[in-house]
Structure 1
Amino acid sequence: MERTTERESHYKNLELQSVKEILENINREDQTVPLAVAKALPQIEALATITTERMKHGGRLFYIGAGTSGRLGVVDASECPPTFGVPFDMVVGLIAGGDGAIRKAVEFAEDNTELAWHNLLEYNVTEKDVVVGIAASGTTPYVIGGLKAANNHNMVTGCIVCNSGSPVAAVAQYPVEVVTGPEFLTGSTRMKAGTAQKLVLNMLSTSVMIQLGKVKGNKMVDMQLSNDKLIDRGTHMVMDETGLAEAEAATLLKKYGSVRAAVDNYKN
């Protein structure tokens, strides 16, 4: 397969460009990413729909990836509990080489075709669960091996890749292909490809959580109240829903521990 993410950059002699030129050119390339994501919306919809269906029946969502792709999965998974109030193991990000690879690359971990399945087994995965492989190149052995094993165990599989016709997409039941083209810095898929993957992950997890009832109106009513900023945000949500003054809303929120519980108990 031809990997467009590895094609030569459209920009030459980067070291001769001024800072202004570098920033303008990176920004010019970045503006193409949402347009590429838009072309994949039907694929994202299909993956989000089946993921919601499985999670409504007790399934979980697992991301598997290596390097930048793995880190993006870990970030999205780790933000679901504080944002939507779900258990920490409802959305799980796994990275080749383990959690240490989040900060420091682990050599050749991504080349192990059996490692992802071993990582998944640590979470006692079942056929209710969904496994989404994230790989900009679409060729990462860690991801391919994990998706193949998940398929063999009757799990739903999806992927987020940035090349068309890739081995990862061929294995995934619900592939999402966002073709972002050559990077500003040749082959540096942490740039446009990484941005595209982040956008798709935002869309996937947010749409699924909305469908699971974790949002009311446009508010994160189940968010964890883990700092003063979020407590203040939650207080104002309670004020908006109940008409209470700030002090009373804050007391109610503190008593019940979440915006949803505070509002429901006030109305009942």
Structure 2
Amino acid sequence: MPRDPLSSATLRIVDQHNACWGRGDVAGVEALYHPEMQFIEHFSGRSFQGEALRRHVRAIIARSALDSLEYLDRPRVDGDTAFVRYREVIRSAEGSALLSFSACDAVRVVDGLIIEINEYALVQQPAGSAKPQNAARKIGLGPRALGYLLNDLALYFQQQQPYLDPGLSLPAVAEACGYTRNQISYALNQGLGLTFYQYVNRARIAHVLASDPGLGVLEQARAAGFRSTSTFYAAYKAVTGTSPGAR
């Protein structure tokens, strides 16, 4: 525990904030915010204040699996500012990891209330990611929002099966999901290391693998949305490591 009174008071407020966040207590979180509170998300270059901040916080708490946030150590405190390091994993409804990131929040306290949080986040990028992380500023999505996008996309593919359309395009998926083409493309690349068409073909291969084995392989491929035999064989090999004939 810090010895000077200011640092002790800062730590107490930050611990209260973290506890409220962890149990999904929106009112408790908002009660600790100064009227001039500002949240700055350096990953995306966005900042939130006032009503926009309240909407942002409520959306995160509503969508997060809060127990997936892991604090890496005790907050480090220097006077009116605490530094909080943590790791968070955004998961699908089935529990599989969609995107993980680590972050350090610099939390400043004034008059017993939090007046500013600067979040510095780093997304764990898979092999195959090509775009630089600073491109996130052009996309306008923070790391949590990228994870939520991947979850929305997975649900759309699972429930609507758009990949069955051989002519499926990125613009059509973007319009259906409510994101831009660049946002979907960036999230797939940064979160999964995949292009849009690699993602689509993986869904098609999963459909083939779950198909009636009594159908011929090429019939299964066409039913799953493949127009090209060569594309099907290449995608099948990339996903399963074997050829369709080895089934």
> TM-score range with shorter-chain normalisation?
under 0.3
The structure in which a higher percent of residues are strand is: 2
TM-score w.r.t. length of structure 2:
0.24
User: Which structure is higher in RCO with an 8 Å CA cutoff and minimum separation 6?
Assistant: 1
TM-score w.r.t. length of structure 1:
0.23
